[in-house]
DNA sequence: TGCCATAGTATACAAAAAGATACCTACAGG
DNA sequence: CCTGTAGGTATCTTTTTGTATACTATGGCA
């Protein structure tokens, strides 16, 4: 890939079955605890939630704040740097939305059940 | 995912180990034969190339034109609709590029070898 | 007659990602 | 002293992706 194509880099940090949803919620709520994320995303396992959060943290997209308490309390929030993702996420969301319509046009309504 | 987040839809059509590279080449050359893609992307197997192309075709991003010849000749090109991806791909590329720099800043040069 | 080319399939296999389930810690409340 | 809690790990199995290799059809060419 002729050295200048970094689309994959962007893809890398967004890919992972749960990352978009996780980001969506943290962007929306500003700050969320581990357990709140679990509640908001009922089907995710702790393992998946942990690994996805760690990857986002590694990329400096989210912040992890641990309170020295028992039982533990950990809060996640978007970093200032992470907020720079907003335009990209918006573009992707918008393109995705119109693409669903396009698929609908060319293949018919049958595709709509796919993501509900 | 509260019904309005379609980031994943965009992700879906771009994900697959080879899709970005394939798109990159077809966007650049306008039209490419199967064998030319193979030559441009030496590590891809025929099977992968075929499946990725078929997925892109399903999403109306690329066009597949078969010539009734022997030996076969098949040309791939970006559809008009597919060209609408350009701004998104550009944004992703640009974000990816600056993200690599950011990672470099926070973790040091060691990350650069990752994508060369 | 046998060989080459192109654009694939078919089959088998390996590796990576995701899921299920059990377990851990250490304090607080009863 | 037993139990519950929050935020995880550890381990194992399943599913999804990707890789390797062999095979096919058809016609032109030597």
If pLDDT is split at 50, 70 and 90, which confidence band does B4 have?
low
Q: What is the distance in angstroms between the Cα of B70 and the nearest Cα belonging to chain A?
A: 31
Residue A95: DSSP 8-state: H
Cβ of B47 near strand C (under 7 Å)? The reply is yes
**Looking at domain B6-113, which of 3.40.50.2300, 1.20.1270.10, 3.90.550.10, 1.10.10.10 is its CATH number?**
1.10.10.10
Cβ–Cβ contacts within 10 Å for residue B18, how many?
18
Taking an 8 Å cut-off on Cβ atoms, the answer to whether B89 and A1 are in contact is no
Residue A82 has pLDDT above 60, yes or no: yes
CA distances from A49 to A17, A42, A100 (A): 10, 11, 27
Taking an 8 Å cut-off on Cβ atoms, the answer to whether B93 and A15 are in contact is no
Q: What is the pLDDT of residues A87-107, one digit of tens each?
A: 999 999 999 999 999 999 999
Cβ-based neighbours of B116, under 8 Å, separated by 6 or more: A3
Q: How far is the CA of A16 from the C1' of C18 (A)?
A: 9
Q: What is the dihedral of CA B90, B91, B96, B101, to 10 degrees?
A: 110
Q: Can you tell me the mean pLDDT for B106-110?
A: 81
> Which two structure tokens, joined as six digits, stand for B16?
């697959």
At A2, is the secondary structure helix, strand, or coil?
coil
Q: How far is the CA of B32 from the C1' of C21 (A)?
A: 50
Which pLDDT belongs to residue A2?
53
Residues in B whose CB is inside 8 Å of some CB of A read 1-11, 13-15, 20-21, 24, 59-60, 81, 84-85, 87-89, 91-97, 99-100, 102-103, 106, 115-116
Looking up tokens 């078969």 gives B66
Q: Which residue has the higher pLDDT, A1 or A29?
A: A29
Run of H or E including A66: strand A62-67
- Contact by Cβ (8 Å): B29, B41: no
Sheet of B31-33: strand order equals B31-33, B73-78, B62-67
Nearest one of A100, A93, A98 to A28, comparing CA atoms: A93
Taking an 8 Å cut-off on Cβ atoms, the answer to whether B13 and A99 are in contact is yes
Taking an 8 Å cut-off on Cβ atoms, the answer to whether A92 and B15 are in contact is no
Nearest one of B92, B20, B100 to A91, comparing CA atoms: B92
Cβ of B19 near strand C (under 7 Å)? The reply is no
Q: Can you tell me the mean pLDDT for A49-77?
A: 97
């Amino acid at each position: 890939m002729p050295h200048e194509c970094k689309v994959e880099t962007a893809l890398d940090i967004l890919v992972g079955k749960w990352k978009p949803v996780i980001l969506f919620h943290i962007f929306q709520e500003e700050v969320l605890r581990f357990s709140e994320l679990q509640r908001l995303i009922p089907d995710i396992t702790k393992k998946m939630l942990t690994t996805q959060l760690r990857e986002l943290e590694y990329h400096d997209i989210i912040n992890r704040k641990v309170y020295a308490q028992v039982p533990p309390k950990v809060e996640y929030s978007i970093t200032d740097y992470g907020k720079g993702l907003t335009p990209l996420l918006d573009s992707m969301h918008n393109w995705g939305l119109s693409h669903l319509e396009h698929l609908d046009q060319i293949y018919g309504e049958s595709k709509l059940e796919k993501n509900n």
